[in-house]
Amino acid sequence: MTVSNAVDQFTMLTGDRSKIKDLLCSRLTECGWRDEVRLLCRTILMEKGSNNSFTVEQLVSEVTPKARTLVPDAVKKELLMKIRTILTENENEDDDDEVEEPEDEP
């Protein structure tokens, strides 16, 4: 399992994945990324979709690499920091659980 898959699985189990996804969506909207991608889709459809033979899958495969490069570095860094914080908090909780010693019975 890759680190990316492990983080993804962990965030799903803890319920943090939806928080990260919501943060990403709001940041992409705030910075205008969604509008840029929408415009990119329209441009591609105007260029290649004039004969209605251009499929959604073809559009997605063409737009995805370009859209990824349009994500601002600040958004990427913020998300990475959020994920690190979540993982660190979990690690600290695990350490606290291990430190607790059972009480001695009288």
pLDDT tens digits for range 38-66: 999 999 988 886 677 788 999 999 999 99
Return the amino acid letter for 45. Answer: L
Token pair 């939806």: residue: 18
* Measured CA distances, 85 to 1, 39, 59, 78 (Å): 21, 34, 35, 11
Q: How much is the pLDDT for 101?
A: 53
pTM of the full predicted structure?
0.71
Which regions of the chain are under pLDDT 70? Answer: 49-50, 94-106
Residue 57 and residue 48: Cα distance in Å, rounded? 13
Whole-number pLDDT of residue 59: 92
